[in-house]
Chains A and B, each alone.
Chain A
Amino acid sequence: MSLRVLNPNAEVLNKSAALHMNINAAKGLQDVLKTNLGPKGTIKMLVGGAGDIKLTKDGNTLLKEMQIQNPTAIMIARTAVAQDDTSGDGTTSTVLFIGELMKQSERYIDEGMHPRVLVDGFEIAKRATLQFLEKFKTPVVMGDEPDKEILKMVARTTLRTKLYEAMADQLTDIVVNAVLCIRKPEEGIDLFMVEIMHMRHKFDVDTRLVEGLVLDHGSRHPDMKRRAENCYILTSNVSLEYDKSEINAGFFYSSAEQREAMVAAERRQVDERVKKIIELKNKVCSGNDNNFVVINQKGIDPPSLDLLARAGIIALRRAKRRNMERLVLACGGEAVNSVDDLTPDCLGWAGLVYEHILGEEKYTFVENVKNPHSCTILIKGPNDHTIAQIKDAVRDGLRSVKNTMEDESVVLGAGAFEVAARQYLVNEVKKTVQGRAQLGVEAFADALLVVPKTLAENSGLDTQDVIIALTGEHDRGNVVGLNQHTGEPIDPHMEGIFDNYSVKRQIINSGPVIASQLLLVDEVIRAGRNMRKPN
C-alpha cells in the first residue's frame, strides 16, 4: 500500500481480486469468440455507427473490430492476433484455450492451491504435448509434385469454417491451384505473388482463378485497343511524362526563349524514350499481327500516350509496384528500368489482353500466358461485405496451403488431436510428475478439450455425451474426431479433416505462456492515465 502514499489516486487490487479480474477477462473473451468455432459456428454481422456492414467468422477480424478496453483482454487479444500473423489461423482456438486454462485453474486456486504450482504443471504438460504432437502429426511428402488431395483437404477444412459448403469447395480448388502456380522449387512461397482482385459484380459463385494477372486500371487513350490477342508485354519502370528536373537542381533562365528551349529539350528526351519503345514494337511485330502492350510503373502523359496509340501500342501507366514482379512471373521477360537496352528478350508474352469496364472502374486482364508463376484470384460478389468476407476466407485458405507445404505435415482435425493429447497427458504424463504439479498437468489436459467441447456445443450437441463417446472410442485404440452432425465419433482421416501442424504447435506454445503470466499476477495497479480512456 506504499503506492497509496505516493499517488493517492492509484487503485490497487489485491492478490485474489487481481487474479479474478484476469480470469474473468479471459473467460469473457472466450465467451465472445466461442460461438465462432467450427463449421457449425455462428457468423457475426457487425453493423457500425454509420451503417457499414462487416461479416465475419474469423476470430482475428472480430478481435480487431471489438474495442477492447480491459488490459487483460488486450493481452490475450494481442497474443491471438500474433498467432494469426505468424500462422494465418487459429485465433479463435488460442483465445478459447487461454480462457479454458484460466477457467480450469480457477477451480484449483479456489481450493487454495498456489498458482505457481499450476504454472509448473502447465510447463511440463506443454512440453509433453509438443512432443506428442511430433508423434501424432501425419507427415506429408511434398517433393516435386505435392499431393494435391491432401492440400485440398487442409484448405477445405479451413474454408468450410468460413463459408457455405459449395462456395468453400469452389474456393478450395482455387486456392490450391493458386499456391501450386506460384510455387517454385527450392524457394519459399511468397503469397504476395497471388494477386487478390475484387469486382462488385454478379455473384459470389463467379469468383475464379485467373492464370495471369488482373490489373485494376486500363489504358488512358481512346484509340488504344480494348482487346488484343498474341501480345508482347513490356514491363517497365520508366518515366514517360515530362517531369520538371529534380527539385533543388536550380535552373535559372535569362529569357523566355531560353526557358522555352529548355522545356522543348526536356520534352524531346521523353519523346526519345517513347520512340525507343516504338522501335522495339516495330522490330518484333512487323510481318505478323501480334500486338504490343506496355505496362509501366511510372506515369505516361497524354503526348506520350498519343505517340504510343498511333503506333498501335496499348499502354498502361502507374502499375502497382508489386505487379511489376508478378507480371514478369506470369508472362516472362524482365522488368526494365531504362529504355536504353531494350531487346526482344525483355518482353513477356500473353495470349490475350482485354479490358473490362464497370462504371468508372477499369480492369485489364492479362491471360493465356505460358507457364505462369503468378496468378490472380478474382473475387466477385454482390456487395462489399460479401466480398470482404470471401477475401478473408481466401487469405486463410492460401495460408493453410502454404503452411502445409512448408510443414510437410498435417494434424488430424475435428478435435482428434485434442482428445488424443488429453488422454496421453492424463494416462501417461501425469503419473511421471511428482507432487501437486500433477494437478497443473490435469488442468492443462482438461483445457485441451475445449476445442471438441465447443465444436459439440456449436452443433447443438450435449458436450458431456460427446466427450465420453470420444474418450471411450480413443481408449479403444482409435484416433477419433467429432462428427458435427450426429455427435458420433468419426475417423477424421476418412472424412478428410486436417489442420495445419504449425497452427496447432503455435497454439500449444503461446496459450500456456500467457495463461501463466496472468495467473502469476498478484497485484493490479491502476495509476497512469494509460489504463483507461482519457477523460
Chain B
Amino acid sequence: MREIVTIQVGGFANFIGSHFWNFQDELLGLAGDPNGDPIFKNQHLDMDVLYRTGETLQGIATYTPRLVSVNFQGSLGSMSSHGTLYDHNPPVPSHVVTWPGNVSTHLSEPHKKNLFLQSLYEEEQENLAPMDGINSGKNDCESEIQDKDIVESLENGVQFWTDFSKVHYHPQSLYELNGLWMDAQDFNNYGIGMDVFSEGLRGEEMNERLRFFVEECDHIQGIQFVVDDSGGFSSVAADFLENIADEYTNTPILLYTVRGPESYMNRRSRRQTMASDLHDAISFSRLSSFCKLIVPIGLPLLGRSKVSSYLCLEDEKPYHCSAVYAAALHSISLPFRMETLGPAMDSCYVSGAVDVYGLIQMLAGQARQNIVATLDAVMPAPSLTGKQVEQSLLGSLHPFTPEIAEDVEDLQEVESLTIHGAFGSGGYRASVSEVEDTVHAAYENATTKPLFSHLSVAHCPLPIPLPFPSIFGNLVGQHGELLGSPVMGGRPSRGSLDVHSIPMAARLRSTTAILPFLENRLGNLQRFGIARGASGTELLRSWGFAKDELEDTAERLSKMIMTLDPHSQSSSDSD
C-alpha cells in the first residue's frame, strides 16, 4: 500500500480541502450503504491511501484523513482543534485543579453550529441510541424538509471551512498558528509571513504533526501539498516545504498553489498591484524550489470563465469556488489510489493507475524538465459522443491555471488525463475500455496531439455530498448528464438535492502554454524589484530580500522559462 499525506496551508486551501474530504467521505459512505447506487459499490479505489485507521482511548476504531491542516487561530469556527472523535469536549470545569487561588474565566462567545452541523450532530446522537423502526420512517420525512433548509443555510452563511465539513478529523490534523489571528492584520504578502514559521515553536509543532502521520506509513508514495499562495501563507508553506524537503528527501511532493477569486479583488491602487505582483513572483519562485511538481490554480474570474459553462458560480463565495477546484483535485488524485490488479488483468472499473512518483516523473522528469504543470478540467464532463463537435470531451477541458496561453502548439507536450464516470452514447455509463478507445481515437484524429499522454479511467463518478454548494446550471441532470433543454421550474442553480453525481475529467499538462505565467512573474520581478530605481526595491527589502537574492530568484525563473523555450535566451540576457 502506498500512502499519501495531505497538507493544507492557508484559508482557501482549507476550503478546497474541506470539499475534497467531503467527496472522500461521501465515497466511503456510498460504498457502505446497502441501498446505494451499485456504481459506488465497486469503486476499486483504495481509500487507505488517504486515510488512516486508529482507535480512541476508549478503544473505538476510527478512520480519519492523513492530513495536516494549517490555518489562522480562530479559523476553525465551531469545530474544536482536537477534532470531534477523540475528545468529547469536556464541559467548562468550575474549578481548576492546578491553582488554589482565584480563577477568572473569559468566555468567547461560542460559535453557533449552523443547521448542517446541527443535523450531523443529531444524526450521530441517533446512531448512538438504538433506533426504533416506526420512528425512523417518520424521521425520514422530517429530514427531507430539513435538507432543503440545510442547503439554503449553507448557501447564505458559510464563514469557516468547517461550516460545511462532514468529516471527522484526527486531533493531530488541525493546527492553528498560535497567536496569529484571523483578520487581525493584513496577511497579504510574502514578507508578512516570513517569521511565522520560525517564531515560537510553530515550525517544530508543524513538523511534529507531519511526522506523526509519516511515521505510520509503511511506504509513503508522496505528499500532496495544497497552499493558499495569495498571501503570507506562501512563506509559511515555503519554510514548511524546505523542512520537508530536508527531512523526507526522497518523498515526492506534489504542490498545488491555489487562490480564490477574491484574492484578485483587492488590487485597487497601483501600489497594491505592484505589491501583489511582486508577491506572486517571489512566492512562486520560492515555492517551486522545494517541490517536484507545482500546479498553479486559481482563475481571477472563475464564474465568468469557460470552466463554468454549466455552472453558476458566485466569485465572492469561497464556498462556491473551492468546490470546483476540489472536484478537479479529486479527479487528479484518483490514479494514485486505483487498485492495481497486475499487468495482465484489465479491470472493468479502473485503469491507468500511477503513483505520485510516476506522475511527477512523467510530467517533469522526461526530456524537458519542466516542473510547472497546468490543470485543466471540465465539470461536469460531457458524454463521450457529444452530438455537437464543440462538446467533445477533449475540447471541453478548460484551464484552471491563470495567465496561460491558449491554442499553443507544443510538440513536446506531456499530459496525464483522468476521466471518471463518463457517459457513453445513449446516456448510459461508458465502460472503461470504451472511454479509452474514444480518447485514443480522438487523439488519432486531432490535428495537434501531445507527445505523450497518460490516461486514467474510473467507472465511478464524482458523488455530490449534501453540503456541496448549489452551483450547477439548469442544464445539468441528476447524474450530471448535460440536458438538451433546461429543467423546467425550480431555481436557476441546482445543488446536491437535484444532482447526485457528476462525471468529471481533469488533466495535468506540461506545456509551453505556461510561458506567459512564468514570463509575467519574471518580468514583474525585474521591472519592480531589480531594475535600477525600481519602485519595489524598498518593499522587497522590508520583506527581507536583498538584491543578490532577487537576482537568484530571477535566474531561477528564467531557467524555468528556458527549459520550455530555449529561444528566450536572448530576451533574458538583454535585461
| 16 pairs from A and B in contact (CB 8 Å cutoff) | A40-B101, A42-B104, A45-B105, A47-B105, A52-B81, A65-B179, A67-B184, A69-B184, A164-B98, A244-B250, A247-B361, A256-B343, A359-B59, A382-B97, A530-B186, A534-B186
Docked-complex contact A55 and B111, CB < 8 angstroms: no
Stretch at the interface among A19-27, A120-128, A314-322, A464-472: A314-322
Q: What's the nearest-Cβ distance from chain A to residue B336, in Å?
A: 14
Docked-complex contact A48 and B108, CB < 8 angstroms: yes
Task: Please report the C-alpha to C-alpha distance between residue A202 and residue B196 in the assembled complex, in whole angstroms.
Answer: 35
B59, B102, B108: the one contacting A49 at CB < 8 Å is: B108
Docked-complex contact A250 and B366, CB < 8 angstroms: yes
8 A Cβ contacts from B235-274 to A:
247, 250, 252
Docked-complex contact B100 and A164, CB < 8 angstroms: yes
Q: Is B559 an interface residue (CB 8 A)?
A: no
Docked-complex contact B208 and A320, CB < 8 angstroms: yes
Q: A318-B214, A389-B98 are in contact. Are A49 and B250 (CB under 8 A)?
A: no
Task: Please report the C-alpha to C-alpha distance between residue A483 and residue B84 in the assembled complex, in whole angstroms.
Answer: 47
Q: Is B157 an interface residue (CB 8 A)?
A: no
Task: Please report the C-alpha to C-alpha distance between residue A220 and residue B216 in the assembled complex, in whole angstroms.
Answer: 8
Q: A320-B208, A320-B211, A360-B55 are in contact. Are A247 and B360 (CB under 8 A)?
A: yes
Chain B residue numbers with a CB within 8 Å of A200 are 57
Chain A residue numbers with a CB within 8 Å of B185 are 530
Docked-complex contact B108 and A167, CB < 8 angstroms: no
Docked-complex contact B219 and A241, CB < 8 angstroms: yes
Stretch at the interface among B85-93, B421-429, B508-516, B524-532: B85-93
Docked-complex contact B103 and A45, CB < 8 angstroms: yes
Q: Is A246 an interface residue (CB 8 A)?
A: yes
Q: Is B218 an interface residue (CB 8 A)?
A: yes
Q: Is A51 an interface residue (CB 8 A)?
A: yes
Q: A49-B111, A318-B211 are in contact. Are A383 and B90 (CB under 8 A)?
A: yes
Q: How many pairs, one residue from A and one from B, have CB atoms within 8 Å of each other in the complex?
A: 151
Would you give the 0/1 interface string for B92-135, flagging 1 where the beta carbon is closer than 8 Å to chain A? Answer: 11001111111111111111000000000000000000000000
Would you give the 0/1 interface string for B183-198, flagging 1 where the beta carbon is closer than 8 Å to chain A? Answer: 1111000000000000
B78, B99, B292: the one contacting A164 at CB < 8 Å is: B99
Chain B residue numbers with a CB within 8 Å of A50 are 76-81, 89, 110-111
Q: Is A476 an interface residue (CB 8 A)?
A: no
Q: Is A509 an interface residue (CB 8 A)?
A: no
Task: Please report the C-alpha to C-alpha distance between residue A44 and residue B186 in the assembled complex, in whole angstroms.
Answer: 29
What would 19 more interface pairs be, CB under 8 Å, given A44-B103, A204-B98? Answer: A35-B104, A50-B89, A51-B110, A52-B82, A52-B89, A163-B98, A167-B98, A204-B97, A247-B292, A247-B357, A299-B214, A299-B217, A299-B219, A301-B219, A320-B211, A360-B54, A389-B98, A529-B186, A530-B185
Query: By the criterion of a CB under 8 Å from any partner CB, how many residues of chain B are at the interface?
Result: 64
Secondary structure at the A interface, as helix, strand, loop or mixed, is loop
Task: Please report the C-alpha to C-alpha distance between residue A10 and residue B343 in the assembled complex, in whole angstroms.
Answer: 71
Q: What's the nearest-Cβ distance from chain B to residue A144, in Å?
A: 32
Docked-complex contact B183 and A533, CB < 8 angstroms: yes
Docked-complex contact A53 and B250, CB < 8 angstroms: no
Q: Is B443 an interface residue (CB 8 A)?
A: no
Q: Is A41 an interface residue (CB 8 A)?
A: yes
Docked-complex contact B56 and A359, CB < 8 angstroms: yes
B76, B98, B250, B369: the one contacting A243 at CB < 8 Å is: B250
Task: Please report the C-alpha to C-alpha distance between residue A341 and residue B185 in the assembled complex, in whole angstroms.
Answer: 54
8 A Cβ contacts from B428-486 to A:
none
Q: Is B569 an interface residue (CB 8 A)?
A: no
Task: Please report the C-alpha to C-alpha distance between residue A243 and residue B222 in the assembled complex, in whole angstroms.
Answer: 11
Q: What's the nearest-Cβ distance from chain B to residue A521, in Å?
A: 20
Leading 5 A-B pairs by shortest Cβ distance:
A64-B179, A318-B215, A42-B102, A359-B57, A360-B54
8 A Cβ contacts from A261-319 to B:
299, 301-302, 317-318
Q: Is A248 an interface residue (CB 8 A)?
A: yes
Chain A residue numbers with a CB within 8 Å of B252 are 247
Q: Is A463 an interface residue (CB 8 A)?
A: no
Q: Is A355 an interface residue (CB 8 A)?
A: no
Output the nearest chain B residue to A53 by Cβ-Cβ distance: B92
Interface hub of B58, B99, B102, B179 (most chain A Cβ within 10 A)? B99
Docked-complex contact B247 and A321, CB < 8 angstroms: yes
Output the nearest chain A residue to B293 by Cβ-Cβ distance: A247
Chain A residue numbers with a CB within 8 Å of B181 are 67
Docked-complex contact A302 and B218, CB < 8 angstroms: yes
Output the nearest chain B residue to A362 by Cβ-Cβ distance: B215
Q: A65-B179, A243-B250 are in contact. Are A47 and B357 (CB under 8 A)?
A: no
Q: Is B402 an interface residue (CB 8 A)?
A: no
Q: Is A46 an interface residue (CB 8 A)?
A: yes
Docked-complex contact B96 and A43, CB < 8 angstroms: yes
Docked-complex contact A47 and B104, CB < 8 angstroms: no
Chain A residue numbers with a CB within 8 Å of B97 are 204, 382, 386
Q: Is A358 an interface residue (CB 8 A)?
A: yes
Docked-complex contact B82 and A384, CB < 8 angstroms: yes
Q: Is A57 an interface residue (CB 8 A)?
A: yes
Task: Please report the C-alpha to C-alpha distance between residue A386 and residue B232 in the assembled complex, in whole angstroms.
Answer: 32
Chain A residue numbers with a CB within 8 Å of B98 are 43, 55, 163-164, 167, 204, 386, 389-390
Chain B residue numbers with a CB within 8 Å of A53 are 90, 92-93
Would you give the 0/1 interface string for A159-202, flagging 1 where the beta carbon is closer than 8 Å to chain B? Answer: 00001110100000000000000000000000000000000100
Q: What's the nearest-Cβ distance from chain A to residue B83, in Å?
A: 11
Q: A65-B179, A359-B56 are in contact. Are A247 and B365 (CB under 8 A)?
A: yes
Docked-complex contact A239 and B250, CB < 8 angstroms: yes
Q: Is B300 an interface residue (CB 8 A)?
A: no
Q: Is A232 an interface residue (CB 8 A)?
A: no
Task: Please report the C-alpha to C-alpha distance between residue A250 and residue B105 in the assembled complex, in whole angstroms.
Answer: 61
Interface hub of A242, A248, A317, A389 (most chain B Cβ within 10 A)? A248
Chain A residue numbers with a CB within 8 Å of B183 are 533-534
Task: Please report the C-alpha to C-alpha distance between residue A45 and residue B361 in the assembled complex, in whole angstroms.
Answer: 52
Docked-complex contact B101 and A41, CB < 8 angstroms: yes
Q: Is B220 an interface residue (CB 8 A)?
A: yes
A216, A299, A321, A358: the one contacting B57 at CB < 8 Å is: A358
Q: What's the nearest-Cβ distance from chain A to residue B80, in Å?
A: 5
Task: Please report the C-alpha to C-alpha distance between residue A49 and residue B107 in the assembled complex, in whole angstroms.
Answer: 8
Docked-complex contact B366 and A45, CB < 8 angstroms: no
Task: Please report the C-alpha to C-alpha distance between residue A358 and residue B218 in the assembled complex, in whole angstroms.
Answer: 21
Q: A50-B80, A217-B215, A247-B365 are in contact. Are A384 and B106 (CB under 8 A)?
A: no
Q: Is B178 an interface residue (CB 8 A)?
A: yes
